[in-house]
Amino acid sequence: MTSVPQSCGLSLKRLARGAGVAVVFMLLAAPVLCADEPERLTVIRAGKIITGTGEEIHDGVIVLNGAKIQNVGKGLEYPLNAKVIDARNRVAMPGLINPSSRFGLSGYHRAEVHGNWTVADEYFPAPDAYDELLDAGYTTLALVPGGGGIPGRAIVVHTAGAQEQRVLQAPAYLRVTPDKRVLRGALERAQQEIEKVEKAKQEFEKKQEQERRAAPPASQPASQPGSQPTSVPATQPAFQPPPIDPAFQVLVDLIQKKPDVFALLELGSASDYVHFSEVLKKFDVAHQFLARNGQQSDFTFIAEQIGAKKPRVVLQPVINRAPNSAERIHVVRQFAQAGCEVSLMPLADDAEEHRQMLGRIALLVREGWTRAEALKAVTLHPARLLGLDSRLGSIEKDKDADLIFLDADPLDPLARVREVMIAGEIVRRVEVPQ
């Protein structure tokens, strides 16, 4: 892959002169001279573009305008002054997204409810902290708070780029570990806080009403003019709600159905889903699930009933064994077919498992999952889970130019990530041993 703009431009000019070859090329990508186009675009000509929406374009063009994708397709026109990157020996696809990780963060022992804590408090990465994940093709991580109970809220970050531009979303979702008692207790407590505020408001309004009734005979006798200076204030005092315990504020928001926050409920086993469902029947809060099917395989029991609710579910890329049996079962496919929108997280939170991700997805496809669904599960679906699908997850118009370039199809066992682009900048080139 050559990204030297001068030489590319020159070679194009030379091609434009040699008409015979140029005709073939013009079909694929046509540079047109637009004199009134002041900005300079970047054009990537890729051997194959996996857009992440299920579409695959051979010999396509991605037009970048700064950090954004301006257009993607086949045989697009672009101005002659565009910087052209020749990636015809590469497969371009959206950068991978890990929806739940603690990579690079230290261990934590927390319990109970800490809704006011976010990973932003502990996120001070070294510039190269996530280089290994870049090598694996990951451009975005949701970093979750550590510990048990309800340890706090996640943040979404880029794995490279300028330090101040790395954080994409803070705070993001609320992490809930598999502990029914803590979740139920926290929501009950949040409900109490809501009732406390409402009660205070009612009392305030009652008091206001009483004062208003007392006010009409406010024609004070002139004998005591200065004794009651504040009896009839010029403006009504605003209601001051009693303070809510900050650790429970996010749970109050959840109960009150505020947008932009949801709980990611982690499931250690199928039974946890049954227990959480009991709590969710009482408190209808926005939630999605994360099921660690790499550790416990009995999730097959709940695939149907969880799928009926059409949630977004984070799973791990493994073929499971049926509980207490030797039978191999495809739990990931079961969840997808039942109606869940499946995202995948690495089997373990280390660099190796991040590197293995595409290979494991290939296994899932080999065992009968669709290729398009499998690729979406590490790109578009986690972006939707995080609520960032307007920016991330696919190669589409107006999305961020977070791309990875592989030297073969991503599900080819020999494929390697060779270049990683975040926000239109190549941030990593992977050295291949000769």
Partner 1 sequence: MLRPATSWRWCAALLCLALALPVFAQSPAESQPSDTQPASQPASQPVSQPATQPVSQPTSAATSSLPTTTTATTSTTTVATTQAAPEKERFLAVINGRVHTVTGPVLERATVLSRNGIITAIGEHVVLPPECVVVDATGLEVYPGLVAAVAGGLHGVNQPRDTTNVYALNMAIALAGGITTALAGNDVAKLTYGTTQDLILKANAYLNINYATRSPLERAQLRADLERVRTYLRDVQRFEREKAVNKDAKPPDKEWLKEKYENYRKLLAREVISVATANSTHELADLADLAQTYGFDLVVRGAVEGWTVAPALGRAGVRAVITPRDERAPDDRFNRPNGSSIENARILHTHGVTVAVVPPTAAITLWGLAGRDLLHLNMEAAFAVRGGLSNDAAVRTITIDAARVLGVDDRIGSLEIGKDADIVVCDGDLLHYMTQVRYTIVNGRVAYDKAKETLFAHIRPQGKPEVPQFDDYWPRRLQWVGE
Contacting positions for partner 1 (CB under 8 A): 180-181, 184, 198, 256, 269-271, 274-275, 278, 298, 301, 322-327
Block residue for tokens 């004070």: 220
The smaller minimum CB distance to partner 1, of residues 248 and 299, is found at 299
The smaller minimum CB distance to partner 1, of residues 184 and 416, is found at 184
Residue ranges of E strands in 206-316 = 263-267, 287-291, 312-315
The smaller minimum CB distance to partner 1, of residues 252 and 401, is found at 252
Question: For 232-264, b where at least 16 C-beta lie within 10 A, e where not — what string?
Answer: eeeeeeeeeeeebbebbebbbbbbeeeeebbbb
Tokens standing for residue 257: 């159905």
The smaller minimum CB distance to partner 1, of residues 46 and 265, is found at 265
Q: Is the peptide bond before 171 cis (omega within 30 degrees of 0)?
A: yes
The smaller minimum CB distance to partner 1, of residues 98 and 334, is found at 334
Tokens standing for residue 237: 């005092």
CB of 186 to partner 1, least distance (A): 13
CB of 30 to partner 1, least distance (A): 55
Structural contact between residues 116 and 152, judged by C-beta atoms closer than 8 angstroms: yes
What does the DSSP assignment read for 242-265? PPPPHHHHHHHHHHTT-TT--EEE
Helix or strand holding residue 42 (H, E): strand 42-50
CB of 266 to partner 1, least distance (A): 16
CB of 187 to partner 1, least distance (A): 14
The smaller minimum CB distance to partner 1, of residues 77 and 278, is found at 278
CA torsion angle 368 369 372 376 (round to 10)? -160
- Enter the DSSP assignment of 309: T
CB of 37 to partner 1, least distance (A): 50
CB of 303 to partner 1, least distance (A): 12
Q: Round to whole Å and give the CA distance between 9 and 368.
A: 45
CB of 116 to partner 1, least distance (A): 22
The smaller minimum CB distance to partner 1, of residues 296 and 356, is found at 296
- What order do you get walking across the sheet with 312-315 strand by strand? 152-153, 174-176, 263-267, 287-291, 312-315, 341-344
Which positions ≥6 away from 375 have C-beta within 8 Å?
50, 52, 93, 361, 410, 411
CB of 298 to partner 1, least distance (A): 5
CB of 82 to partner 1, least distance (A): 53
The smaller minimum CB distance to partner 1, of residues 66 and 185, is found at 185
Q: Round to whole Å and give the CA distance between 114 and 152.
A: 5
The smaller minimum CB distance to partner 1, of residues 173 and 276, is found at 276
The smaller minimum CB distance to partner 1, of residues 236 and 325, is found at 325
Measured CA to CA in angstroms, residue 335 lies from 300, 308, 343, 405 at distances of: 8, 10, 11, 30
- Enter the DSSP assignment of 95: P
Closest listed residue to residue 380, CA positions, set 74, 48, 99: 99
Which positions ≥6 away from 5 have C-beta within 8 Å?
83, 84
CB of 319 to partner 1, least distance (A): 15
